[in-house]
Amino acid sequence: MTQIRSFDGLPQEQETKVSVLETQADQYGEETFLIYGPEDRKVSFAELNEIANRIANSLRNLGLRKGERVSLLFRDPLRTLFAMFGIKKAGGIYAPINFEYKGKTLTYQLNDLDSEILLLEDQYTDRLNAITEDLKTYPKVVLLQTDAESEPLDAAFTQSTFAQLREGSPERPSVDVSWMDPASIIYTSGTTGKPKGCLLSHRWPIYYTKARRAVMNEEDTIHSVVPMYHVVGPYWDTTTALMTGARISLWDRFSTSSFWDRVEQYQATNTTLISVMQSWLMNQPAQPDDHRNPLNKVQMSPLPENHVEIAERFGFEFITCGFGQTESGRPLGGLIHAARGNNATPDGLRHGQDPEEIIRNSEKLGVAVVEEVPEDRFMGNPMPWAEVAILDDDDERLPPGEVGQLAIRPQQSEIILKEYFGAPEKTVEAWSNLWWHTGDAAYQDESGHFYFVDRIGDVIRRRGENISSMQIQNTVTSHDGVAEAAVFPIPASEGGEDEVATIVQPKTEQSLSEADVRSYLEDLLPKFMRPQHIRIEEKLPTTETNKLEKYKLRERYFED
């Protein structure tokens, strides 16, 4: 087994991706780090470091100063990473924007950020032109030229090209970047209101990825299909691969039909499957050799009830789980030894650490390692760098088994967001009594394991029970005629408890009635969990990242 550096004992001054990239470029040189699948393009550690230097020096020549913001509206994940490392080497703040944004959503984020420079794929010039009069200021625009049809940029903007950025000096920029400096602004999804920008330090991703790095080494390849405007792509995937000397295969979108071919093509061993991806893969016709693939370490967020079924079908030996959010990083960690024996990854296809190493290294770090989860929605144990508690409304600790708010008290500096950018009142609201309040309901068992219940405000109190809206929601959406459903509490007319409201979106061309839903749930849910109020709506409101906007449904419900 190849011995690699763990980076666990880094001096503080080296706890930045800039420093890690330079270290890895020296050690691994021309070995492949990035693979961009659509182009079969391979980029070495050394090449990435040089590209980042060139972009950083060009940004400095454009007038970028340390601590200033650079927005980015790219779909291309490879050029996004080129830009991200360049921005950080220049001392700038990486501030990506969802490439689906347009109109008011794009206006809001550009005005909120007020960035000095905007990196823009040319296929989106029409979106920028359409909101020119609504912008408070005009950033300098750097266009990434593609083969897509595009319209000329409005004359109000000064512009240059991404190709010109790539022509800067290859020398290391003369900018000192500290672990405590602001490094990025990543926006929340905005499921409870307008998205908030989380200002994160250079140190933040170092701790965010520790548990995942414990199960990886140089032989691994991460299969990355998520966009680069949230934390998973640029940090959970890229930082992990960079710090372990592994590879990362990048794709600009998830493809159910091509998923396993892509995994096989680059011998991917590790990936993240969000809930909808899990369903898409499971809905494909089962094959007797589904488990014969190299993918043996998979992150599932949130952890689905059928995770064992998924793991055994596809040979996922280990499922990593936990609690993570843009604000607080990853304070909880769990590892499930799921597929074993004949269901596990065949020996000839396994790369990276062997199972015993994975378990040993995870336990050494403090990750909760189990073969079977004690209860649903398992999140594992607190990591050594975070104190985690379940609090009541007065910030008093609750005993095991009682549901309250999940709260975090960091044991290291700069591992939770610095602030909500431009929203000090929101930052103060989330901090109280030295606890970061996550906004999530959870509970702890007698063994110290933590379990997710719901978002605060979505927990339903009925008949003396705390009910997860997600549990009801998952049951409703298991109906063949249901495309999507939202479940939330509404105050009962008496008794100080809640009633259950459910709004259902039928599948296209499906006839679905309230009676159909009620009849379906009778045999699947106990009486106290069944919705008292059911509505059928053609389309439920979602964010640009396809997350349900329950707050809009609540507002609409009470208005009616």
CATH code of the domain containing 395: 3.40.50.12780
Cβ atoms within 10 A of the Cβ of 309, count? 12
CATH code of residue 519: 3.30.300.30
* Residue 93 shares a structural domain with residue 216: no
Contacts of 450 (CB under 8 A, 6+ apart): 323, 332, 379, 380, 381, 382, 388, 390, 406, 442, 443, 444
Cβ atoms within 10 A of the Cβ of 289, count? 8
Asked, for residue 25, whether it belongs to a domain, the answer is: no
The count of residues in the chain is 560
| Lowest-pLDDT range of 49-63, 186-200, 222-236, 521-535 | 186-200
Does pLDDT of 512 surpass 50? yes
Amino acid at 374: P
> By the 8 A CB rule, do 486 and 540 touch?
yes
- The tally of domains found in the chain comes to 3
Question: By C-alpha distance, which of 411, 463, 399, 405 is closest to 437?
Answer: 405
Asked, for residue 383, whether it belongs to a domain, the answer is: yes
- Residues 432 and 250: their CA atoms lie apart, in Å, by 40
- pLDDT value, residue 408: 98
- pLDDT tens, 103-127? 888 999 999 999 999 999 999 999 9
E strands in 458-559 = 459-462, 465-468, 482-491, 498-506, 533-536
* Residue 224 shares a structural domain with residue 95: no
227 three-class SS? coil
Q: Is the peptide bond before 302 cis (omega within 30 degrees of 0)?
A: yes
- Residues 492 and 497: their CA atoms lie apart, in Å, by 6
- pLDDT tens, 223-252? 999 999 999 999 999 999 999 999 999 999
How would residue 2 be classed by pLDDT, with cut points 50, 70 and 90?
very low
* Residue 167 shares a structural domain with residue 220: no
- pLDDT value, residue 5: 45
CA 555 and chain centroid, separation = 27
- pLDDT tens, 436-457? 999 999 999 999 999 998 878 7
- pLDDT value, residue 556: 80
- pLDDT tens, 372-383? 999 988 999 999
- Residues 436 and 527: their CA atoms lie apart, in Å, by 36
Phi/psi class of residue 193: alpha, beta or left (left: φ > 0; alpha: ψ in -120 to 50)? Answer: left
Asked, for residue 190, whether it belongs to a domain, the answer is: no
Torsion of CA 520, 403, 452, 426, to 10 degrees: 110
* Residue 521 shares a structural domain with residue 392: no
* Residue 260 shares a structural domain with residue 239: yes
- Residues 474 and 307: their CA atoms lie apart, in Å, by 14
pLDDT more than 90, % of the chain: 74
Residue after which a domain boundary falls, among 430, 454, 478 = 454
How would residue 541 be classed by pLDDT, with cut points 50, 70 and 90?
confident
| Lowest-pLDDT range of 162-166, 200-204, 250-254, 272-276 | 272-276
Does pLDDT of 1 surpass 50? no
Amino acid at 308: V
Does pLDDT of 497 surpass 90? no
Q: What domain range is 64 assigned to? A: 43-177
Instruction: Write down the residue that tokens 């606890």 correspond to.
Output: 435
- pLDDT tens, 469-489? 887 888 899 898 999 999 988
How would residue 6 be classed by pLDDT, with cut points 50, 70 and 90?
very low
CATH code of residue 172: 3.40.50.980
